[in-house]
């Protein structure tokens, strides 16, 4: 059984507050001597990065691992080496950690790189000006950095996307400050980064607008450190006075003279423990200074390094990794000696219960009204414990107390159990993420999973995410990309085949895994993109094949210059918009000839693309379309295009030319002789119309009319000769000509002309058409004159339609059709006609 | 909605009662809400610039007052020329067509030149298009415009018809080869599935139908891939989706429609359920208190020809019971029916003489409003009939009917072609001549090359040489409805394979009824709608959903003694709908028609698979299921009427008709020719 939790506690402020030092990991011999290195630690239980400090001499032959000059080594808090990389660039001025566990390394040439834990990096620059004057120092916070240039200007970079650096207000320095620090933008009131510079005896506060001299006289300062919540600032003066002020320098919070402490050498570091205590570190001693000047001393065997956490401080010593924090309230409440809080009593009750002591019941009874609070507090206390044993004991106690409650929502209890299981898993020394509950809650589970995947701990990440019922997509995606990066094309492979098999294997592996684990939401396109970025085009194509969303596939295919496949996929998707996307992209990128060839070679499968291109070009780019048809020898389409253009043209000469061009195209295709002939006629018609217009000195509009209309206009304007000429020139059939002429003359009410025309020869359309047309146009009288020339049996009815009842009667008489006459009489509209019909009837006998 | 009163009157319209099972007005609600949402995304007062082709569909979804409530100060048509907007915000609402985008770009540039400050929002229907961004980029105004989308999908145009109201779908798909309409349709159908669940079975005929089905399945599988919460369950309301490709049945739209609604469409033209009629038909002169709702609809400027002012009227069976009664009738019986309605109305009016007591009088006054609106409707329909009757008496009309009937019977084809030539000589409408000619080509497998060339020449001479592209389009592969016989040796195989087996179909699908039956006897078969010809498309649907109806007239044997419709027959006498088993039994017939055949069973995601599939195979007796019929490329009013007839003959199955738009032969031919009916419009837009 491990020690009681209180064993690591130490009281402060007369026993009102406790601080505890817990050993997270034992790391003896795993790290190099911290005194010889420049160290940067990542918050929230993150890793440490270190580099040899070149200003120090190192004795050879020591046991601890040491590395050569220009190398940076990254260790987990448990002392496991995570990454080692060499630096081949200009001198490093500073390195530190970004919020997502990427190591930021800034060099003197104004270049900074972001290394992930796999050693892959992104590189950004601080701009050409920075490169010129050089960077002498930098401060890195979670969401950006501030660099100091050689000309003592400050450059602020927000975020890690390589944004353009912003120059802060000029602090007007003549020499580099003794120390300086930044308060990250999310902790300041203005939400912009603030830089604090220690200059002579005072401190300058610089932001993007102005530089403020705080007019202090206690300087110069040797150390400066803002608290994790950004509200207070710890300063160490030259004389060894530790001074804590609010960051606006309005309030004096504490003072402590470190000169009285017996310690070797200088102060190495000051760090905050949470936001209310300060750790001052000498070579072998760490002194915790509380808000009221009380102190606790921790001794180490060698140089240490401290990393401030929001709820405590992590101290890396030569042999151990410790976590020092103020004991959380709930834990104090449960375990403080002599505590009579409900949670303490409940814990006691459970203890008695498990020892089979009847006092348990008595205990429970005494805290009955506050049992809910007690249970909640114990659950929280369980989360604060590092040792699984005590976690279990506390949860058991909570469970015990819970049983006495009628209505208790167990969600918190269940969640805490799950959370602790996850926390214990990641705290395991091989994983080495000593994260506390408070940090975990602050960061969110998905962030933790991301940290696991960035360490390539995919299996654990997958288990954690399925345990917490989070979608496995991100893990799988990271896994797949990692797999692609790892699986270099088959070693020693020669030729393309080996490459292909390697690709196939990887692709199959990835797809199988996804299908097995249900990573259906994972976008294959994203993974394929990664594969393409590392130059595995074949693999990328294979993976893309599994992407069901064509809209995701196509853009990557386009950027991979897989034009044909991209177009093919777009066409297959049936999404015309996607096809347009590809077409317009290719049209811009490829030379016109290659573009056309791509579409033409696609044949039947790419036909929809070709059609869409035509739709687009017809409206927006007719010239391109003309070229397209021409290059593909599409005579008919070319001709149609010409004809369409002719339809839009106003100018007669241009129109005639277009028609001629169309005729030419048609005539080049021997299947289209009919169309060619028609176009020839069209051309002749236009010419004839132009001539007509000239003859009528442009008074009458002919141009653009159809053949029939031209005839009609000629007739209406008394140009019968011309009409006849058109008839013969264009071989207009007699029937149609007669109809046209009939309509024209009737329309012009030229009944004499019509009569003459009807007698010019025997009508090829009969005379009933005359009657009917005249009737339709409302000329019954004139219509009646043509009835006698119609077929005999129809005459009676036609007469009736013309309203000529008497003539109808007469007709009946002539044909001796008594029945019809009788019928007429019945239909007769008025008595007068009836009488007349009667007369005829009688005369018939 | 329709209350389930069992004591239906004698004269009650033969309502399908689809709404009891499926409420399509939900779609209208969705369309309306998303429009409001789209408009509200632009803050403050705004000027709305509207694509004229969207005005019709929008008017079915919303009304001007609603737009005004949501900040629309003024509306303009989207048309070339400067735009004088008062408000800072300008919202363009249009389909993603290049012409529109160019106009928009032009207007924006003009404003920039005049240094007027506006913020532009472009709402694209139904979705954002790369094409538009590209054109805007080329015009250099992309940065000034916020582009978003207004997803207008199915609009209910009757209680059993939903339409995408895309007038150009036919031309885009089969002439331009632009299958955007198919893709949009698949998305719209997918939205339908999201609302009502997966179609348990999809049956389709035709290449585009196959493509549509394929896309729909892909959407479904994507939806189930992204997570279990988006996966769809199988619908309990729908039993299947039947997709019919317009290309599969080109004969039907080329025929003259003979139902009341169909004839109105042929003669007057119905656009987005609105018909333009003389004002006098709508306003009762003696009745100043006419419902002002009609007045709120727009006043379109009268075409120069009409002496009287015309006004748009919304033809809707919901507000006009007489219309519901008339729309599916063969025009021959419309007069009789109108007469009966008039007489009934008269009797109802006369009831006031019998009113003795005050209570009776009050009863009568209560009914008066209904009577008056019915009276008004009667006036409208009588007026419409009066417009149509002279048209049906014309020589051209009767001759064209005769030609159609003869062609359908394959009687003396050369003679019919000669008759078409005759019509041409008489100067008949271009679309009519082309329709008849195509009909002749399809039914007889091509027209003799020499004759065809002659007619083509005459067409070009009569109507203008600029119609040559039209003739070429009609003859070229995807459509191939105007072919010479024999085919020239060089024709692509696709055309030769696509030869339409009309003569065989006529027999196997019982398309043509024997002439010796009178119209009244026909009235219970779907061939009633074309006076003796059953539309192939509807027969194909019957092959899936009403197999008995294809082989023999289901109502024929059990005709009521004197009833002329089977609406009043005892419901028990009707045949109960059989389960959907695809084209089973008609495989050979279906295979003989060119185009792919699809038949897919969709499994719902969450619900226990086996359980559902057996349930869909054996529907409960008492449960009415819906068969959705989707027409790719549009359907005619007459086909809708025929499907309604078919639906009434069965028990336990209703049809929901979905289409890309309403077409008729004229709109198809004119669409391809690019000479749409003259669009009317003023600068100030309204719905």
Whether A640 sits inside 8 A of B468 (CB atoms) is yes
Q: Helix, strand or coil for residue A551?
A: helix
CA atoms B51, B56, B59, B64: torsion sign: positive
Span of A429-433, A785-789, B230-234 with lowest mean pLDDT: B230-234
Query: Looking at the complex, does the CB of residue A679 fall below 8 Å from at least one CB of chain B?
Result: yes
Same domain, B587 and B651: yes
**Rounded Cα–Cα distance for residues B296 and A712 (Å):** 44
**Rounded Cα–Cα distance for residues B347 and B349 (Å):** 5
Closest residue in B to A515 (Cα) is B225
Number of neighbouring beta carbons within 10 Å of residue A758:
19
Q: Provide the 8-state DSSP code for B562.
A: S
Determine, yes or no, domain membership for B86: yes
Determine, yes or no, domain membership for B304: no
Same domain, B129 and B170: no
Residue B8, pLDDT score: 34
Determine, yes or no, domain membership for B76: yes
Residue B558, pLDDT score: 42
Residue where a domain stops, chosen among B359, B393, B427:
B393
Query: Looking at the complex, does the CB of residue A782 fall below 8 Å from at least one CB of chain B?
Result: no
Determine, yes or no, domain membership for B684: no
Q: How far is B456 from chain A (nearest CA, A)?
A: 9
Query: Closest partner residue to B135 among A607, A620, A708, by Cβ?
Result: A620
A625 touches A611 (CB < 8 A): no
Tell which residue, A422, A521, A424, A516, has the closest CA to residue A468.
A422
Whether A575 sits inside 8 A of B186 (CB atoms) is no
Site of tokens 């009434």: B648
Same domain, B41 and B139: yes
Whether B468 sits inside 8 A of A675 (CB atoms) is yes
Same domain, B366 and B487: no
Q: What is the Cα Rg of chain A in Å?
A: 49
Number of neighbouring beta carbons within 10 Å of residue A651:
9
Tokens representing B490 are: 């060089």
Q: Average pLDDT in the A222-247 region?
A: 88
Whether A612 sits inside 8 A of B178 (CB atoms) is yes
Residue where a domain stops, chosen among B362, B393, B424:
B393
Report how many Cβ contacts below 8 Å link chain A to chain B.
131
Q: How far is B474 from chain A (nearest CA, A)?
A: 13
Q: Provide the 8-state DSSP code for B512.
A: B
Q: How many CA atoms, within 13 angstroms, populate the side-chain half-sphere of residue A783?
A: 22
Residues of B in contact with A684 (CB under 8 A): none
Instruction: Say which CATH number the domain at B230 has.
Output: 3.40.50.1910
CA geometry: angle B345, B347, B351, nearest 5 deg: 115
Edge-to-edge strand list for the sheet holding A71-75 = A37-41, A48-52, A71-75, A81-86
**Rounded Cα–Cα distance for residues A583 and A575 (Å):** 13
Strand B145-149 relative to strand B119-124, pairing: parallel
| C-alpha dihedral (A689, A695, A697, A702), degrees to nearest 10 | -20
Tell which residue, A475, A479, A485, has the closest CA to residue A531.
A485
DSSP codes of every residue in A190-218: SSS-EEEEEETTEEEEE-SS-EEE----S
Q: Average pLDDT in the A179-202 region?
A: 86
**Rounded Cα–Cα distance for residues B685 and B665 (Å):** 29
Tell which residue, B181, B195, B191, has the closest CA to residue B216.
B191
Instruction: Say which CATH number the domain at B419 has.
Output: 1.25.40.850
CA dist A20 → A377, A387, B109, B301 (Å): 19, 14, 72, 89
- For A54, phi then psi, to 5°, come to -75, -15
Whether B226 sits inside 8 A of A521 (CB atoms) is yes
Whether A620 sits inside 8 A of B225 (CB atoms) is no
Edge-to-edge strand list for the sheet holding B89-94 = B72-77, B46-50, B89-94, B119-124, B145-149
Residues of B in contact with A577 (CB under 8 A): 127-131, 180, 183
Site of tokens 């024999």: B486
Best B465, B471, B475 residue to mutate vs chain A (most A CBs within 10 Å): B465
Site of tokens 């409805």: B481
Using CB atoms and an 8 Å cut-off, which of residues 570-599 of chain A contact chain B? Answer: 573-578, 580-581, 584
| Residue A78 in this model has a pLDDT that exceeds 50 | yes
Residue partners of A233: CB distance under 8 A and separation at least 6 = A196, A224, A225, A226, A227, A244, A245, A246, A247, A249
Q: How far is A659 from chain B (nearest CA, A)?
A: 10
Q: Average pLDDT in the A217-226 region?
A: 86
ipTM of the complex: 0.80
Query: Looking at the complex, does the CB of residue A647 fall below 8 Å from at least one CB of chain B?
Result: yes
Tokens representing B527 are: 């061939």
Same domain, B589 and B601: yes
Residues of A in contact with B469 (CB under 8 A): 640, 643-644
Query: Looking at the complex, does the CB of residue A777 fall below 8 Å from at least one CB of chain B?
Result: no
Whether B464 sits inside 8 A of A705 (CB atoms) is yes
Residue A499, pLDDT score: 54
* pLDDT per residue as tens digits for the range B665-680: 888 888 888 764 433 3
Residue, of A167 and B611, whose pLDDT is higher: A167
Residues of A in contact with B463 (CB under 8 A): 706, 708
- For A82, phi then psi, to 5°, come to -100, -35
Best A554, A576, A739 residue to mutate vs chain B (most B CBs within 10 Å): A576
Three-state secondary structure of A138-162: EEEECCEEEEEECCCCEEEEECCCC
Query: Looking at the complex, does the CB of residue A640 fall below 8 Å from at least one CB of chain B?
Result: yes
Determine, yes or no, domain membership for B291: no
Q: Place A605 in a pLDDT band, splitting at 50, 70 and 90.
A: confident
Residue B495, pLDDT score: 65
Same domain, B372 and B460: no
Residue B14, pLDDT score: 41
Whether B425 sits inside 8 A of A608 (CB atoms) is no
Best A578, A649, A656, A707 residue to mutate vs chain B (most B CBs within 10 Å): A707
Query: Closest partner residue to A643 among B215, B218, B468, by Cβ?
Result: B468
Whether B178 sits inside 8 A of A615 (CB atoms) is yes
Q: What is the mean pLDDT of each run of 10 residues along chain B (687 residues)?
A: 37 48 81 86 82 84 84 85 83 86 89 85 86 85 84 85 86 85 89 85 88 87 65 78 88 87 86 80 50 37 46 76 82 83 84 77 80 83 85 85 86 86 84 88 84 87 86 81 74 68 82 61 67 84 80 52 39 63 81 84 57 45 79 89 83 86 86 60 45
- For B84, phi then psi, to 5°, come to -100, 95
Instruction: Say which CATH number the domain at B339 has.
Output: 3.90.830.10
Instruction: Say which CATH number the domain at B131 has.
Output: 3.40.50.2060
Q: Average pLDDT in the A459-488 region?
A: 80
Q: Average pLDDT in the A759-769 region?
A: 80
Same domain, B605 and B654: yes
Q: What is the mean pLDDT of chain B?
A: 77
Determine, yes or no, domain membership for B505: no
Residue, of A353 and A843, whose pLDDT is higher: A353
Same domain, B654 and B583: yes
Determine, yes or no, domain membership for B3: no
Residues of B in contact with A745 (CB under 8 A): none
Residue B609, pLDDT score: 40
Determine, yes or no, domain membership for B382: yes
Tokens representing A166 are: 């912003």
Span of A137-151, A381-395, A525-539, B185-199 with lowest mean pLDDT: A525-539
Q: Helix, strand or coil for residue A277?
A: strand
Same domain, B224 and B118: no
Same domain, B426 and B389: no
Number of neighbouring beta carbons within 10 Å of residue A265:
11
Cis peptide before A266 (omega within 30 of 0): no
* pLDDT per residue as tens digits for the range A100-135: 888 999 988 888 999 888 888 888 888 888 888 889
Buried b (16+ CB within 10 A) or exposed e, A98-119: bbbbbbbbbbbbbbbbbbbbee
Query: Closest partner residue to B98 among A620, A679, A765, by Cβ?
Result: A620
Residue where a domain stops, chosen among B393, B424, B451:
B393
| C-alpha dihedral (B572, B574, B578, B583), degrees to nearest 10 | 180
| C-alpha dihedral (B214, B219, B224, B230), degrees to nearest 10 | -150
B81 touches B111 (CB < 8 A): no
Same domain, B130 and B97: yes
CA A54 and chain centroid, separation = 45
Residues of A in contact with B185 (CB under 8 A): none
Q: Place A68 in a pLDDT band, splitting at 50, 70 and 90.
A: low
Strand B274-278 relative to strand B310-314, pairing: antiparallel
Residues of B in contact with A736 (CB under 8 A): 424-425, 458, 461-462
**Rounded Cα–Cα distance for residues A289 and A256 (Å):** 8
**Rounded Cα–Cα distance for residues A479 and A465 (Å):** 14
Q: Average pLDDT in the A789-804 region?
A: 79
A293 touches A278 (CB < 8 A): no
CA geometry: angle A234, A236, A242, nearest 5 deg: 75
CA dist B213 → B189, B227, B233, B241, B491 (Å): 10, 22, 18, 10, 30
Residues of A in contact with B214 (CB under 8 A): 574
Q: How many domains does chain B have?
A: 4
**Rounded Cα–Cα distance for residues A404 and A361 (Å):** 10
Whether A678 sits inside 8 A of B186 (CB atoms) is no
**Rounded Cα–Cα distance for residues A528 and A549 (Å):** 13
Long-range (24+ apart) CB contacts under 8 A made by B228-231 are B228/B605, B228/B606, B231/B605, B231/B606
In terms of Cβ atoms closer than 10 Å to its own Cβ (0-12, 13-18, 19+), residue B545 is buried
Domain extent at residue B33: 25-153
Q: How far is A640 from chain B (nearest CA, A)?
A: 6
Tokens representing A424 are: 């214990």
Best A522, A577, A776 residue to mutate vs chain B (most B CBs within 10 Å): A577
Same domain, B70 and B181: no
| Residue A739 in this model has a pLDDT that exceeds 50 | yes
């Amino acid at each position: 059984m491990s020690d009681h939790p209180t064993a690591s506690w130490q009281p402060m402020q007369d026993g009102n507050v406790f601080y505890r030092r817990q050993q997270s990991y034992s790391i003896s011999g795993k790290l190099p001597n911290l005194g010889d290195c420049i160290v940067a630690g990542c918050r929230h239980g993150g890793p440490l990065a270190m580099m040899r400090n070149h200003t120090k001499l190192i004795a050879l032959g020591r046991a601890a691992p040491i590395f050569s000059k220009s190398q940076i080594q990254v260790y987990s808090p448990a002392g496991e080496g995570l990454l080692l990389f060499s630096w081949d660039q200009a001198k490093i001025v500073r390195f530190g950690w970004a919020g997502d566990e990427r190591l930021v390394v800034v060099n003197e040439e104004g270049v900074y790189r972001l290394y992930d834990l796999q050693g892959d990096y992104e590189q950004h620059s601080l701009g050409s000006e920075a490169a010129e004057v050089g960077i002498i120092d930098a401060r890195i916070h979670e969401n950006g950095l501030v660099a100091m240039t050689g000309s003592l200007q400050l450059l602020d970079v927000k975020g890690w996307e390589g944004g353009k650096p912003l120059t802060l207000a000029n602090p007007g320095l003549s020499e580099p400050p003794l120390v300086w620090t930044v308060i990250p933008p999310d902790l300041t009131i203005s939400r912009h980064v603030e830089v604090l510079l220690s200059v002579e005896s005072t401190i300058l506060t610089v932001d993007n607008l102005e530089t403020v001299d705080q007019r202090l006289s206690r300087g110069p300062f040797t150390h400066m450190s803002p608290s994790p919540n950004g509200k207070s600032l710890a300063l160490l003066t030259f004389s060894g006075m530790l001074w804590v002020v609010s960051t606006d320098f309005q309030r004096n919070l504490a003072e402590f003279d470190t000169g009285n402490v017996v310690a070797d050498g200088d102060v190495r570091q000051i760090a905050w423990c949470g936001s209310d205590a300060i750790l001052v570190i000498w070579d072998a001693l760490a002194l915790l200074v509380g808000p009221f000047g009380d102190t606790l001393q921790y001794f180490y065997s060698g140089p240490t390094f401290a990393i401030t956490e929001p709820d405590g401080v992590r101290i890396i010593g030569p042999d151990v990794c410790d976590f020092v924090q103020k004991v959380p309230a709930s834990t104090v409440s449960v375990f403080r000696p002599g505590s009579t809080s409900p949670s303490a009593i409940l814990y006691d009750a459970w203890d008695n219960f498990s020892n089979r002591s009847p006092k348990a019941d008595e205990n429970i009874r005494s805290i009955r009204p506050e049992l809910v609070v007690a249970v909640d507090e114990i659950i929280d206390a369980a989360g604060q414990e590092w040792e699984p044993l005590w976690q279990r004991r506390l949860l058991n106690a909570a469970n015990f107390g819970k049983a006495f409650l009628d209505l208790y929502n167990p969600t918190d209890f269940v969640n805490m159990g799950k959370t602790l299981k996850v926390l214990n898993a990641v705290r395991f020394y091989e994983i080495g993420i000593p994260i506390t509950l408070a940090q975990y809650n602050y960061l969110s589970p998905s962030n933790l999973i991301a940290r696991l995947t960035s360490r390539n701990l995919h299996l654990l990440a997958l288990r954690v995410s399925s345990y917490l019922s989070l979608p496995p997509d991100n893990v799988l995606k990271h896994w797949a990309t990692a797999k692609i990066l790892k699986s270099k094309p088959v070693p020693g492979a020669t030729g393309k085949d080996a490459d292909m098999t390697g690709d196939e294997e990887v692709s199959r592996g990835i797809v199988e895994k996804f299908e097995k684990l249900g990573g259906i939401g994972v976008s294959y396109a994203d993974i394929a993109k990664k594969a393409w970025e590392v130059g595995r085009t074949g693999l990328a194509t294979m993976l893309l094949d599994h992407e069901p969303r064509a809209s995701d596939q196509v853009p990557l295919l386009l950027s991979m210059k897989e034009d044909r496949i991209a177009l093919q996929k777009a066409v297959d998707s049936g999404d015309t918009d996607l096809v347009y996307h590809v077409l317009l992209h290719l049209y811009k990128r490829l030379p016109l000839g290659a573009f056309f060839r791509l579409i033409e070679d696609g044949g039947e499968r790419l036909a929809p693309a070709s059609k869409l291109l035509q739709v687009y070009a017809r409206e927006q780019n007719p010239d391109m379309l003309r070229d397209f048809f021409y290059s593909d020898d599409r005579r008919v389409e070319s001709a149609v295009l010409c004809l369409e253009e002719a339809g839009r043209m106003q100018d007669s000469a241009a129109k005639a030319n277009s028609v001629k061009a169309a005729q030419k195209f048609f005539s080049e295709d021997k299947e289209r002789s009919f169309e060619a002939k028609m176009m020839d006629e069209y051309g002749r018609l236009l010419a004839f119309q132009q001539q007509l217009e000239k003859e009528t000195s442009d008074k009458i509009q002919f141009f653009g009319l159809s053949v029939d209309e031209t005839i009609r206009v000629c007739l209406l304007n008394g140009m019968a000769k011309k009409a006849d000429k058109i008839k013969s020139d264009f071989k207009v059939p007699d029937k149609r000509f007669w109809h046209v002429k009939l309509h024209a003359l009737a329309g012009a009410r030229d009944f004499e002309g019509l009569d003459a025309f009807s007698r010019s020869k025997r009508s090829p359309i009969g005379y009933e058409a005359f009657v009917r047309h005249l009737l339709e146009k409302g000329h019954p009288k004139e219509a009646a004159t043509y009835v006698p020339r119609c077929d005999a049996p129809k005459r009676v009815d036609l007469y009736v339609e013309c309203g000529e009842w008497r003539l109808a009667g007469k007709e009946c008489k002539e044909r001796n059709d008594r029945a019809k006459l009788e019928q007429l009489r019945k239909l007769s509209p008025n008595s007068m006609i009836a009488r007349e019909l009667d007369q005829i009837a009688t005369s018939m006998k | 909605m329709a209350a389930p009163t069992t004591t239906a009157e004698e004269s009650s319209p033969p309502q399908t009662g689809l709404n009891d099972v499926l409420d399509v007005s939900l779609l209208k609600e969705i369309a309306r809400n998303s429009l409001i949402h789209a408009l509200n995304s632009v803050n403050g007062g705004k000027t709305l610039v509207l694509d004229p082709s969207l005005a019709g569909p929008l008017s079915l979804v919303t009304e001007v007052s609603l737009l005004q409530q949501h900040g629309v100060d003024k509306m303009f048509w989207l048309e070339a020329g400067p735009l004088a907007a008062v408000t800072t915000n300008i919202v363009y609402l249009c389909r993603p067509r290049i012409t529109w985008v160019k106009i928009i770009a032009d207007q924006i540039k003009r404003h920039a030149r005049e240094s007027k400050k506006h913020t532009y929002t472009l709402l694209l229907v139904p979705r954002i298009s790369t094409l538009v961004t590209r054109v805007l980029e080329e015009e250099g105004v992309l940065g000034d415009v916020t582009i978003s989308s207004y997803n207008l999908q199915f609009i209910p145009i009757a209680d059993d018809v939903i339409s995408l109201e895309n007038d150009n779908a036919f031309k885009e798909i089969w002439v331009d080869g632009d299958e955007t309409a198919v893709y949009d349709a698949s998305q719209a159908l997918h939205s339908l599935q999201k609302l009502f669940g997966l179609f348990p079975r999809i049956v389709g005929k035709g290449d585009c139908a196959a493509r549509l089905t394929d896309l729909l399945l892909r959407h479904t599988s994507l939806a189930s891939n992204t997570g279990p919460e988006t996966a769809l369950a199988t619908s309990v309301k729908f039993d299947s989706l039947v997709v019919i490709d317009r290309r599969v049945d080109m004969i039907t739209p080329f025929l003259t429609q003979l139902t009341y609604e169909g004839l109105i469409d042929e003669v007057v033209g119905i656009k987005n359920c609105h018909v333009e009629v003389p004002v006098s038909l709508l306003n009762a002169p003696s009745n100043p208190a006419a419902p002002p709702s009609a007045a709120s609809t727009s006043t379109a400027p009268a075409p120069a020809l009409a002496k009287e002012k015309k006004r748009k009227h919304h033809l809707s069976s919901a507000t006009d019971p007489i219309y519901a009664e008339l729309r599916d009738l063969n025009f021959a019986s419309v007069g009789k029916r109108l007469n009966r309605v008039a007489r009934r109305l008269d009797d109802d009016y006369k009831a006031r003489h019998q009113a003795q007591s005050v209570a009776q009088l009050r009863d009568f006054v209560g009914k008066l409003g209904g009577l008056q609106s019915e009276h008004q409707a009667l006036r409208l329909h009588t007026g419409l009939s009066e417009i149509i009757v002279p048209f049906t008496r014309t020589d051209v009309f009767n001759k064209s009917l005769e030609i159609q009937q003869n062609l359908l019977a394959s009687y003396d084809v050369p003679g019919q072609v000669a008759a078409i030539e005759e019509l041409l000589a008489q100067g008949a409408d271009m679309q009519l001549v082309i329709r008849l000619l195509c009909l002749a080509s399809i039914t007889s497998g091509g027209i003799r090359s020499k004759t065809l060339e002659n007619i083509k020449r005459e067409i070009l001479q009569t109507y203008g040489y600029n119609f040559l592209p039209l003739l070429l389009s009609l003859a070229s592969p995807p459509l191939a409805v105007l072919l010479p016989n024999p085919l020239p040796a060089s024709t692509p195989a696709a055309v030769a394979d696509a030869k339409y087996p009309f003569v065989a179909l006529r027999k196997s699908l019982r398309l043509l009824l024997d002439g010796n039956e009178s119209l009244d006897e026909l009235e219970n078969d779907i061939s009633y709608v074309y006076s003796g010809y059953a539309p192939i498309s509807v027969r194909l649907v019957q092959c899936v959903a009403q197999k008995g109806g294809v082989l023999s007239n289901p109502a024929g044997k059990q005709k009521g003694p004197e009833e002329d419709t089977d609406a009043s027959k005892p419901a028990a006498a009707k045949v109960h709908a059989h389960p959907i088993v695809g084209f089973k039994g008609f495989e050979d017939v279906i295979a003989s028609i060119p185009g792919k055949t699809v038949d897919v069973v969709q499994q719902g995601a969450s619900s226990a698979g086996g359980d559902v599939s057996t349930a869909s195979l054996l529907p409960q007796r008492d449960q009415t299921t819906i068969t959705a019929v989707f027409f790719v490329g549009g359907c005619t009013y007459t086909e809708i009427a025929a499907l309604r007839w078919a639906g009434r003959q069965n028990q336990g199955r209703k049809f929901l008709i979905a289409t890309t738009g309403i077409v008729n032969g004229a709109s198809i031919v004119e669409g391809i020719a690019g000479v749409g009916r003259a669009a009317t419009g003023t600068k100030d837009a309204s719905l």
